[in-house]
């Protein structure tokens, strides 16, 4: 039987140096597995099978720490709870206005938009955020389905 020794972990708090602890590693691995941009509560549920004794507060703190280091990203989308993203590269999101799901969009960020603003603004522009909104495929299907339901009552065979 292999015993894993976690005794290095408590030293973390006394050291300002970031350490990739097992908790963080598990959180990062689970976050990278999904494309749904989970909230801290959802990450907590995802890691519990592997970290049965972890608390929601610890998960939250670790998520904050990982995002401060740029290892993951915080996704602050308008009007929703903070979500976390295992993809640390710049990319855009689309949010479903009905179920609030947040997903990546398959286009590259427009660097040109920042350069355009640099030409006309006195701000030092360091980045930009762009969020698309719409209906996800499931919600779109549901919306279409509910329109079709009524005429289908007298539907004939074959
Ligand atoms: Zn939806
Ligand atoms: Zn993302």
Instruction: Tell me, in angstroms, the distance from the centre of ligand 2 to residue 152's CA.
Output: 39
Q: Is 20 helix (H, G, I), strand (E, B) or coil?
A: coil
Instruction: Tell me, in angstroms, the distance from the centre of ligand 1 to residue 101's CA.
Output: 6
pLDDT of residue 42: 95
Per-residue pLDDT of the chain (158 residues; tens, 9 = 90+): 444 444 444 444 444 678 889 999 999 999 999 988 999 999 999 999 999 999 999 999 999 999 999 999 998 776 677 899 999 888 999 999 999 889 999 999 988 999 999 989 999 998 888 889 999 999 999 988 876 555 545 455 54
Alpha-carbon distance of 80 to 103, in angstroms, equals 14
Which domains can be identified in the chain, with CATH numbers? 14-88 (1.10.10.10), 90-145 (3.30.1490.190)
Only one residue has tokens 């903070």, namely: 82
Residues found in the chain = 158
pLDDT of residue 147: 63
Instruction: Tell me, in angstroms, the distance from the centre of ligand 1 to residue 124's CA.
Output: 36
Residue 40: name the closest of 71, 75, 69, 68 by CA: 75
- Residue 43, number of CB atoms within 10 A of its CB: 23
Using alpha carbons only, how large is the chain's radius of gyration in Å?
A: 21
Alpha-carbon distance of 115 to 120, in angstroms, equals 9
């Amino acid at each position: 039987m292999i015993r894993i020794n976690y005794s290095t972990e408590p030293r973390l708090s006394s050291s300002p140096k970031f350490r990739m602890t097992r908790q963080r590693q598990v959180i990062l691995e689970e976050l990278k597995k999904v494309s749904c941009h989970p909230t801290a509560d959802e990450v907590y549920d995802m890691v519990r099978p592997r970290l049965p004794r972890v608390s929601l507060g610890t998960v939250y703190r670790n998520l904050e720490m990982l995002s401060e280091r740029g290892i993951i990203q915080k996704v602050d989308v308008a009007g929703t709870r903070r979500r976390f993203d295992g993809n640390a590269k710049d990319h855009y999101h689309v949010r479903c206005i009905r179920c609030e799901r947040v997903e990546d969009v398959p286009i590259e960020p427009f660097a040109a938009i920042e350069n355009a603003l640099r030409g006309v603004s006195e701000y030092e522009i360091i980045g930009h955020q762009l969020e698309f909104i719409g209906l996800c495929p499931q919600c779109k299907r549901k919306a279409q389905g509910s329109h079709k339901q009524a005429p289908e009552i007298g539907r004939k065979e074959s």
